[in-house]
A and B are shown apart, each in its own frame.
Chain A
């Protein structure tokens, strides 16, 4: 047996299948260059190859696959948004999520948990009713429930939240789910890679060659590539790339922090979000509590963590779940969120011909990964905005036609 093992292990005719192919060199030109090998960029590459047969595509990544906000979010998937544009868009995403594991032949640990957005005030309850009605109108499973339903779903909760922020009700969204976020990037990446897309990690974009308003090429840390189409899917680095093509945008960067506790026995099935207390919490398959809060209060282009964040988050968490007082925090981290004034993304064509944006994904981008890939692949392949993303165009600011989605943000930022 050991001899057999050695014979095959060291034999070049029987190589171990790798998740991704490694490419020694960049080609001198590609049909499409995608900047950012996170979930969004790789999903776009995947659908370009699968649905449009465009495989002469290169995905450039400064760091490593899924190392940005794809691997830094709290993995929540939902579609109970506020605007018709948002609801339709995220609902399509939730539909795509359903068979993604089969599609990739890779277990994404997609777990349907149910999602409660808690209301502690009358005004919050009013927004919940509004959201529920918009959601129902578009066929999304969403309803306002009383505090007793919350208590039944999460028996450990202190429904009075320490007496000063009693839970009056909640928006319940049965399709709310969690999934293993880095596997999403790997699944899309592998699917694209197997269809001929090249993924180049450790390759930074240094400039974009624009001539007469058209994209001509990309300068990278490993040489120049000529191309007529560039898709920018770089989350918190979007303003840096926009500076290269001289396009103005309202996008601003604030860090969003999150943390996990040590693993404990399963006790929390649903996902809970409290806008008033600025917390969201779910329990991972490993038993860790995955927790997040609101944005850091000022602009920063970095991913440092702070003690202030942990203190603030845990204070509110203990109001909801006093029994967690002895549970330890295991890790914390931050991601750079590309925020927009109306809390809706910025997607589609730009004033520069051949330069497409998938950005403004602030604190709400993970759940949209599949639908972003699908709609951006359509947009890049046909050079026209997909009908689902017309409400998210960069033009909307110049036209004073915003897509107000702040009421559906998980916590009041």
Chain B
């Protein structure tokens, strides 16, 4: 079984985690045009690479970020979210 390192609970089986996709900045819904908003809602960076992703350790409801190589399935590091870069 694959092990993921939760920043709060340490290494846990991946089945305890929930994946919520790549971290993406949200445009301001009040000012964004329909096209910009559709791009945000639907389009994804589907190509492989090292991506920053939202993950949640479900038993403790701990949300955090994992940097993961989506081609090799190797987690580079995990840490808590600290605002936009």
Contacts and interface: CB of A to CB of B under 8 A. Distances in A.
Interface of A: 238-240, 242-243, 248-253, 297-302, 304, 306-308, 338, 341, 397-400
A250 B44 contact: yes
B70 to A, nearest CB: 5
B48 to A, nearest CB: 4
B82 interface: no
Contacts of B72: 302
A250 B47 contact: no
Contact of A243 (B35, B38, B47): B47
In this complex, the member of A250, A299, A301, A398 whose beta carbon has the largest number of chain B beta carbons within 10 angstroms is A299
B19 A397 contact: no
Interface in B26-59: 34-35, 38-39, 42-48, 51, 53
Interface of B: 1-2, 14-15, 18-19, 21, 34-35, 38-39, 42-48, 51, 53, 70-73
A400 B38 contact: yes
A296 to B, nearest CB: 10
Most buried by A among B1, B21, B44: B44
Given A250-B43, A250-B44, A304-B73, A299 B19 contact: yes
Contacts, number: 62
Given A250-B42, A397-B42, A302 B71 contact: yes
A299 B70 contact: yes
Given A248-B43, A299-B21, A301-B71, 10 more contacts: A248-B39, A249-B44, A297-B18, A299-B51, A300-B73, A301-B70, A307-B1, A398-B38, A399-B38, A400-B34
Nearest to B44: A252
A287 to B, nearest CB: 31
B18 to A, nearest CB: 8
21 contacts: A238-B46, A239-B47, A242-B46, A250-B43, A250-B44, A251-B44, A251-B46, A252-B21, A253-B48, A253-B70, A297-B19, A298-B53, A301-B48, A301-B71, A308-B1, A308-B15, A397-B38, A398-B35, A398-B38, A398-B42, A399-B38
A267 B34 CA distance: 55
Given A302-B72, A304-B73, A397-B38, A240 B47 contact: yes
Contacts of A399: 38
Contacts of B19: 297-299
B23 to A, nearest CB: 13
